[in-house]
Structure 1
Amino acid sequence: MPGATSETVAVMLAGGRGERAKPITLESADYIRSKAVIPFLGRRLVEWVVELCKDQGIRRFYVIAQGLENRSQIKLLLGHGQRHGVEISYSRAGFDPYNVGSGSAFLHNLEQWKLTGRALVLPVDSVLDFSLEELERTHQETAATVTVATVGRTRREIAGKYGVLRTDPAGRVRGFAEKPSAQQLRTLFPGRGDEPLPTSAGMYLVDCDRLRRAARDPQLMRLAQQRLDWGGDLLPWLVEHDEPVAAHRIARLGDLGNVPDYLAALRDVLSGAYRRLNRLMGPPAAGAADCWIDETSLRTRDPVSGTTLTEKIADGRVKIGPGVHIGRHVEVGDDVSLEYADIGDGVELGEGARLSGVAVGDYSLVGPYAELSDSYIGPMAVIRSERGRPVRLESHTAIGDGVSLRPGSRLSGVSVYPRLRIPAHFHVPSGTWLTCSDDVLQWV
C-alpha cells in the first residue's frame, strides 16, 4: 500500500503515442500499439523494465499511463503484477486532462499516492543496464532531491538530438543544454575533445518527501498546471531554485523510439552489451555463448528435410550466430544463415534465407532465399520470396503487422503500414512511407 517506506519503488512513465516508432507501434493503420508493449526479444518492453527492476529488489510499481492505449494495453499485459510477483498500481484516468507533461503527471500522482522515501522514475520505451545500488549510493552521498541517470554520448551523437547536463566536479548538476548544435557544444564544453558528455537517460531517483515539499512552491504549482516536462522544465526549475540535483552515469541505454534506434539496441543486446538483461534472458544455447534458442525450436523438424534444428546446426546446414535469439516452435529450413537476429515464436524460415540485424515478429513467414538486413518485420507478415525472385529488405525497412510481400520485391529504407499487400517486383525510393493501398498503387 502507498505510504511511508524505506524501500525504493518504481514509477513508470507511459504517456507517448509512439509516432516516431511507426509502424512498430501499429497493429492496423488506425490502431496504436503502446510503446510499452512493443515486442523485444520474446517479451514486451514494459515486461523487461519490470523484470530488470525486480531483479534489483523493487517490488512495488506505479504506472502513470496517459491515454486509452497506454492504460488499457499495459493493464491487460501486466494486470496488478501477480504473474511477475510484484504489486502494480495505475494512475487514475481522471488525472489525464491535467497531466500537461511528464513532470506535471509525476507531481500530481506523487501527491495522489502520497509516496515517501525513494522512487525510481523510468521510461517504458527503452532498455537499460544500470545498478540500482550504485545509483542509490550516489543519491545518498550527494544528498540530492533528484539524481539523474546519465549515459555518455559523443558530440556527433548529441548535436541537435539530445540534451546535455553541465555538472561540477562533485557531480552536482549546474545547468542543462537542450539539444545543442555542434557549435554550441564546442562553446559549452571547450577542450573536452572526443570525451563523452553526460546526457539524460530519462530515469531519475527521487527523494519523494523533498520533491513533494518543493512542489508546493506557488510558481512550480502554476507550471504544473500549464506545462511541465521532466527534462525541459522540472529539472531546470529545481537547479535554479537550489534544490540539489545530482548526476550518475549508468552502463547503457537503448532508446527504442524509432526503427533505426530499435534495431541498434537489438544488436547491442544480442552482442552481450547489456549484462543484466542478458542474464535475465537465461542461459545461451549449448555451444553458443551469444545465442538464445528455445528448446522447442531446437527439436522442430522442417517438412522438407525432416531434420531438427539441432541436427542442422551440428552438421553445418544452418549457420546461427553471432547474436541470435529464437523463440518457441520456430521452423528453420536448410542453408539458413542468421546473425544479430530476433526470431519470434512460430516463425517459419524458408531454405536459403539470409537474415542479419533483423527482428521478425511472431508467426511470420519468410520464404526461401529472402535477403533481409537491418530491418523490422512485424507479426504475421508474409515474405513470399522464391529462389529466382528473392525478396530483399535493407537499410531500416520496417514491415508492419500482417503485411504481404510478393516475390522479387526490394525495399530499402521503406516503412509499410500493417496489412498492406505489396506486389511482385515492387521498388520504391528510400524513405517512402506506404500507409494505405493508394500509396502502393501509385508506385505500381
Structure 2
Amino acid sequence: MNAIILVGGQGMRLRPLTAHRHKSLVPVANRPAISHLFEWLRANGVDRVVLALGQQNEDLAEAFPAGSVAGLEIVPVFEQGRLESGGAIRNAVEEAKIEERFLVLNGDVFVEFALEKAIAEHERTQAKLTLALARVDDPSPFGVAVTDASGRVTGFVEKPPRASAPSNLANAGAWIFEREIVGQIPAGAVRVEEMLFPSLVVRGNAVCGYSIEGLWADIGTPARYLELNIALARRMADGPGKVASFVGPGCVVAETASIEESVLWEGGTVGEGAVVRRSVLADGVRIGAGAQVDGLVAGRGAIVPEGSVVPAGTVLHPGSTYHQDG
C-alpha cells in the first residue's frame, strides 16, 4: 500500500523551534518526529511512502534517502510552487504513479490506531474517502466532522467555538483515499479540507468517519509538541514518580539541576541548581546556574543567564539572550 506524507509546510506555528530544523525532523522521544510515522506505517502494512515536499525541503529528503528506512520504499516528490494539501496530494499521486487506494498523513501528526480496522470500515461502508477522527476535549483548534449514526460524514465545521461545536471529532490528519476521487481535486493550490471533502459530501459520495483509538497528537504548536513528548516520557518511565522529560544527546546537565516535563534537544547545558519546568529547549540552549525556567520555548543557541527567573510563556528566538526585567 502507498502512503503520502504531507511535509511541504514551513512549520511556522512551531517557530522558533523550526527556524533551523524542518518540522518533521524535530525530536519526539529523542528521534525525528517523522520516524514515528515511518514505524507506524511499516507496522500497519504500508510498504511505499511518498514524501510530498516543498521547494525548500531538501534537508528532509537528504535525511531519508532511498534505502534508509528498513521495510519502506521512500519516494521524494517536490512541489513546483506552493500547492497546499490538495495540490500536493494530486502532484504526489501523479509523480509517484499511484494507481490504487492510498493513505494520506499530515506530516505533523502522531498516530497509533490500527490501520487495518480503518480500512475494513472503509470497505464495509464502500466509502470513497475515510477520515480518521480523534475525540478531543476542546475541538476549537481543529476542523471537526459531523457524522450520522452509521458513521457517514454529513458535514464539516472548521475550528468551531468550544461551546457550540457540533461534535468533538477532530480531523486527525489521516485519510484513506480511493484513487478515483483524485480527479475531483481542483488544479492549483487548494486545501482538500475546504474544497474536496465538503464537495464529496454535497455530491453524495460516501465519506466515512472512523473514530480512532490510541495516542493521537497534532504537534503543530510548541504546546502540543511538548504535551506529546510528556505523554511518551510518562509511558516510557521505568517507575512511579519519575519526571517525564527527554534530554537529547550531547547535553550537559549539572547534578544539582532539575528538569521536569521538558524536552532538551542536542548539545544544551543546564547549570548548577537550575530548574527547568515544562519547557522546550532547541539545540545548544544554555541555562545558567540557579536560573528558574517555567514554560519557556527557546530557539537554537538561546541563553538564559545565571540566576534568571523566566516566566511562563516566554519565547526566546535563536541566538538571543534573556534579559531580566528590572
Question: Would you say same fold, with TM above 0.5?
Answer: yes
Counterpart residue identity of residue 391, structure 1: A
- Kept in 2, the 8 Å contact 1:17–1:35? The answer is yes
* Aligned partner of residue 401 in structure 1, secondary structure: coil
How far the C-alpha of 1:90 sits from its partner, in A, is 1.3
Q: What's 1:263 paired with? A: 226
Cα distance between partner residues in 2 of 1:55 and 1:237: 33
Counterpart residue identity of residue 150, structure 2: A
How far the C-alpha of 1:366 sits from its partner, in A, is 0.7
Cα distance between partner residues in 2 of 1:397 and 1:42: 15
Cα distance between partner residues in 2 of 1:270 and 1:371: 16
How far the C-alpha of 1:434 sits from its partner, in A, is 2.2
1:416 aligned onto 2:303: no
How far the C-alpha of 1:438 sits from its partner, in A, is 6.2
Counterpart residue identity of residue 141, structure 1: R
Cα distance between partner residues in 1 of 2:38 and 2:3: 9
Cα distance between partner residues in 2 of 1:148 and 1:51: 21
Higher relative contact order (CA 8 A, sep 6+): 2
Q: 2:126 aligns with which of 143, 153, 168?
A: 143
1:321 aligned onto 2:233: no
- The change in CA–CA distance for 1:399 and 1:112 in structure 2 (over 3 A counts) is closer
- The change in CA–CA distance for 1:416 and 1:266 in structure 2 (over 3 A counts) is closer
* Aligned partner of residue 80 in structure 2, secondary structure: helix
1:178 aligned onto 2:196: no
Matches within 5 A, 1:176-215: 176-185=156-165, 188=166, 197-208=168-179, 210-215=180-185
Matches within 5 A, 1:28-67: 31=20, 33-67=21-55
Matches within 5 A, 1:291-440: 291=237, 321-322=239-240, 339=242, 356-385=243-272, 390-394=273-277, 396-435=278-317, 440=322
How far the C-alpha of 1:34 sits from its partner, in A, is 1.0
Task: List runs of 5+ in structure 2 lacking aligned partners.
Answer: none
Cα distance between partner residues in 2 of 1:261 and 1:52: 20
- The change in CA–CA distance for 1:228 and 1:131 in structure 2 (over 3 A counts) is same
- Kept in 2, the 8 Å contact 1:263–1:358? The answer is no
Counterpart residue identity of residue 177, structure 1: V
Q: 2:206 aligns with which of 244, 252, 258?
A: 244
Task: List runs of 5+ in structure 1 lacking aligned partners.
Answer: 1-7, 190-196, 216-220, 273-289, 292-319, 323-337, 340-355
Give 1 or 2: higher helix fraction: 1
How far the C-alpha of 1:53 sits from its partner, in A, is 0.8
Cα distance between partner residues in 2 of 1:115 and 1:121: 12
- The change in CA–CA distance for 1:43 and 1:412 in structure 2 (over 3 A counts) is closer
* Aligned partner of residue 139 in structure 1, secondary structure: helix
Counterpart residue identity of residue 28, structure 2: F
Q: Deviations over 1:159-202 (max 9, x none)?
A: x31121111122111100111113422xx36xxxxxxx321101
Cα distance between partner residues in 2 of 1:10 and 1:257: 20
- Kept in 1, the 8 Å contact 2:302–2:320? The answer is no
1:80 aligned onto 2:66: yes
Counterpart residue identity of residue 54, structure 2: Q
Cα distance between partner residues in 1 of 2:15 and 2:248: 15
TM-score scaled by structure 1? 0.68
Q: 2:80 aligns with which of 81, 84, 96?
A: 96
Counterpart residue identity of residue 64, structure 1: A
- After superposition, the CA RMSD in angstroms is 2.2
Counterpart residue identity of residue 37, structure 1: L
Cα distance between partner residues in 2 of 1:262 and 1:436: 18
Identity rate of aligned residues, in percent? Answer: 25
Q: Deviations over 1:282-318 (max 9, x none)?
A: xxxxxxxx54xxxxxxxxxxxxxxxxxxxxxxxxxxx
* Aligned partner of residue 151 in structure 1, secondary structure: strand
How far the C-alpha of 1:436 sits from its partner, in A, is 5.8
How far the C-alpha of 1:122 sits from its partner, in A, is 0.7
